[in-house]
Amino acid sequence: MTIHPVSFSEVMHLEQHGPDTWVGLSPEYRWGRIYGGQVIAQGLGAAFETVAHNYVPHSIHAYFIRGGNLNEPVRYEVDRLRNGRSFCTRSVVARQSGGAILNLSCSFHIIERDAEVQTARMPLAPDPRDCRRREDDHMGSIMDRRALTSPPGAGRSMGWVRLLDDLPDDPRLQICGLAFTSDAIQFDAARSIHPIQAPREEYQEQFMGASLDHAMWFHRPTRADQWHLYEWDCHGLSGARGMTVGNLFAPDGSHVATIAQEVLLRERRSR
């Protein structure tokens, strides 16, 4: 019988299984497959185990290959591609018995003190405590999401997100937490510009949706267990795919990350 983790800290408990290989478990998500942000966070956590502590990730690039089985452990195999004086690179493949489910590239950079300039500006948004949590949110005990309404044609989505764990002052765990939340609320930006506007309760019957690939650039340290504001723009739909680009802001307005993701938004058609 599989024991499913119920908190982010439990999700990030990885067991080492041989050289540069770690294994993680999945919560029992109600939609029946592994959440993409989880395999990114666990894969990054496995890569961290092979990197010296004076390196921090500045970018990650991931391809979601197939849906993961909730009742089977995920095996993370790390390849040490390069160790340089300023940068090091890791490749991580997440596998289950059916094959690879994620291919993740991570680039790490030593902490350098240099010019500090921010041009991205945090948009105006209501306080997260004034935003209602969706009744159909299935992240339960792990993550709290407060998505704002994206009217038809907007091409944008915005919302607040945070982990529910009180995490320790471990910068590596906080970065993994940020990666975990980064796959949370981008779909509404793409849905809002589709010619067919399906009500949320009918969406799964009319469309098949999935995250295809995911890139994230880390700019400044932050805490994933505090509220963060996501702002997403959809750059268009083509071939049943939507291109979304987003910024992530800490509560004080600091621009902590930039995210890009291509999503599948395929209309279900009768045969």
Phi, psi of 262 (to 5 degrees): -100, 130
- All structural domains of the chain, each given as residue ranges with its CATH number in brackets, are 1-111 (3.10.129.10), 128-271 (3.10.129.10)
Could you give the strand order of the β-sheet that contains 15-16, starting from the edge strand earlier in sequence? 15-16, 21-24, 74-83, 87-96, 99-110, 55-64, 207-218, 255-267, 241-249, 228-238, 156-163, 143-147
> What would the pLDDT profile of 11-60 be if each residue is shown by its tens digit?
999 999 999 999 999 998 887 889 999 999 999 999 999 999 999 999 99
Q: Which residues make Cβ contacts (< 8 Å) with residue 216, sequence separation at least 6?
A: 40, 59, 60, 179, 182, 257, 258, 259, 260
Answer whether residue 142 shows pLDDT above 80.
yes
> What would the pLDDT profile of 145-166 be if each residue is shown by its tens digit?
888 888 888 889 999 999 999 9
- Provide the pLDDT for residue 133: 80
- Provide the pLDDT for residue 42: 98
As a whole number, mean pLDDT of residues 88-95 equals 98
Kindly indicate the confidence band of residue 189, based on its pLDDT and cuts at 50, 70 and 90.
confident
The average confidence (pLDDT) of the chain is: 90
- Provide the pLDDT for residue 219: 96
Q: 26 exposed, middle or buried (CB, 10 Å; 0-12, 13-18, 19+)?
A: buried
pTM summary value: 0.92
Is the pLDDT higher at 100 or at 31?
100
Q: Say if residues 100 and 77 touch (Cβ distance below 8 Å).
A: no
Kindly indicate the confidence band of residue 173, based on its pLDDT and cuts at 50, 70 and 90.
very high
pLDDT above 90: percentage of residues in the chain:
66
- Provide the pLDDT for residue 267: 80
Is the pLDDT higher at 14 or at 139?
14
As a whole number, mean pLDDT of residues 82-93 equals 96
Phi, psi of 202 (to 5 degrees): -105, 0
Phi, psi of 86 (to 5 degrees): -115, -30
> What would the pLDDT profile of 201-225 be if each residue is shown by its tens digit?
666 677 777 888 999 999 999 999 9
Q: How far apart are CA 24 and CA 46, in angstroms?
A: 9
As a whole number, mean pLDDT of residues 76-100 equals 97
Q: How far apart are CA 177 and CA 170, in angstroms?
A: 11
